[in-house]
Structure 1
Amino acid sequence: MPSLTDFSATALTGEERSLSEFAGDVVLVVNTASKCGFAPQFEGLEALQQQFQAEGFTVLGFPSNQFKQELSEPQGISDYCQKNYGVTFPMFATIDVNGRGAHPVYQWLRSEAGGALGSAVKWNFTKFLVGRDGHVIKRYGPQTEPAAIVGDIEAALAD
């Protein structure tokens, strides 16, 4: 059965990155969109990154324009995230999160999480908490503020 670390993705800067570099970490994977009403969550996501990175935690941002709310240029996305929210966590190239063209990471995340929220990603800023073993622990809807996930992150880091 695959885990998060079996995948790779293109970084916002254009290079291919193996997600195996996050092996053993607790990871929060988020589909982002700069023009979305939930974009202020970048601030909370960065706060989580700063609070827990020394303990082996990383946020991974995957911009998606499937909901027509992302900037078109990688540099524009990077500039927006840095200038407005001081984002330091890894950001990847724009991907699809649903449908036949969905990035393999999101095909896997959706199948791993399944459950009550169903398999389709309904909107931007859907979050997937992945444990140190590389498997999904929990899925959160877009309205879940990053600060509300702190307890689950602490529990995952303690495992």
Structure 2
Amino acid sequence: MKSILLMLAAALYGGAATDVHDFTITTIDGKEVKLSQFKGKKLLIVNTASACGFTKQYAGLQELSEKYADKVVVIGFPANDFGGQEPGTNAEIQGFCEKNFGVTFLLAEKSSVKGSDISPLFSYLTTAPNPDFTGDIKWNFEKFLIDEQGKLIHRFRSKVEPLSQELTSKL
């Protein structure tokens, strides 16, 4: 099923999206959201997991989303690609995030961020030019900063905290 969706997405976008605003995502509660609705704001896209050493970054992501709400939209993408650290259902993940970290920022449905079933958005993000690096995601909580026009402008590995100067100075 996922490979059919990947082929459909590739056909729909002619094999190559021009920017992040070309994508539509499904939220953790099943609603479709066009990323083009966020034109004019930066996006911080993060692959997340509930049972990871970096899971505490949910708190920083929530604080960042509140503190910089006028500048950036945070979107978490739960993924079970690294050590089985996101085994729950969408409902379980959403409940965990709300209960433990007060998450109100946008969460996408659980998806794959690497491998043969990688989501089209993450396939684009891991290959899009940027001044930092390209290639596969190495672990949970990697961050992709997208500018107001939908272009990837920075990429951060997992250890970069959401409220670090390294990240916030780019907002």
Is the pair's TM-score, using the shorter chain for normalization, greater than 0.5?
yes
2:81 corresponds in structure 1 to 66
Aligned-pair RMSD on alpha carbons? Answer: 1.4
Number of positions where the alignment pairs a residue of Structure 1 with one of Structure 2: 152
2:170 corresponds in structure 1 to 152
Q: How does 1:22-61 map to 2 (within 5 A)?
A: 22-53=38-69, 55-61=70-76
- 2:114 maps to 1:98: yes
The 1:99/1:115 distance shift into structure 2, 3 A limit, reads: farther
2:5 corresponds in structure 1 to none
**For residues 138 and 13 of structure 1, what CA distance do their matches in structure 2 show?**
28
TM-score (norm 2): 0.84
The SS at the match of 1:27 is strand
**Residues 131 and 153, structure 2, Cα contact 8 Å, conserved in 1:** no
Question: Pick from 130, 139, 150: which aligns with 1:123?
Answer: 139
**For residues 61 and 45 of structure 2, what CA distance do their matches in structure 1 show?**
10
- 1:9 deviates by 1.2
**Is there any run of 5+ residues in structure 2 with no aligned partner, and where?**
1-16
**Residues 123 and 142, structure 1, Cα contact 8 Å, conserved in 2:** yes
The 1:150/1:116 distance shift into structure 2, 3 A limit, reads: closer
Q: How does 1:10-21 map to 2 (within 5 A)?
A: 10-21=26-37
The SS at the match of 2:68 is helix
**Structure index of larger Rg:** 2
**For residues 116 and 26 of structure 1, what CA distance do their matches in structure 2 show?**
17
**Is there any run of 5+ residues in structure 1 with no aligned partner, and where?**
154-159
Identity %: 36
- What residue identity is the alignment partner of 1:147? L
CA deviation map 1:83-129 (0-9, x unaligned): 11111110011111112211111011111146664410000000001
**Is the helix fraction higher in 1 or 2?**
1
Question: Pick from 19, 23, 42: which aligns with 1:3?
Answer: 19
The SS at the match of 1:83 is helix
- What residue identity is the alignment partner of 2:104? T
**Residues 47 and 78, structure 2, Cα contact 8 Å, conserved in 1:** yes
- 1:72 deviates by 2.1
**For residues 26 and 92 of structure 2, what CA distance do their matches in structure 1 show?**
16
The 1:113/1:78 distance shift into structure 2, 3 A limit, reads: farther
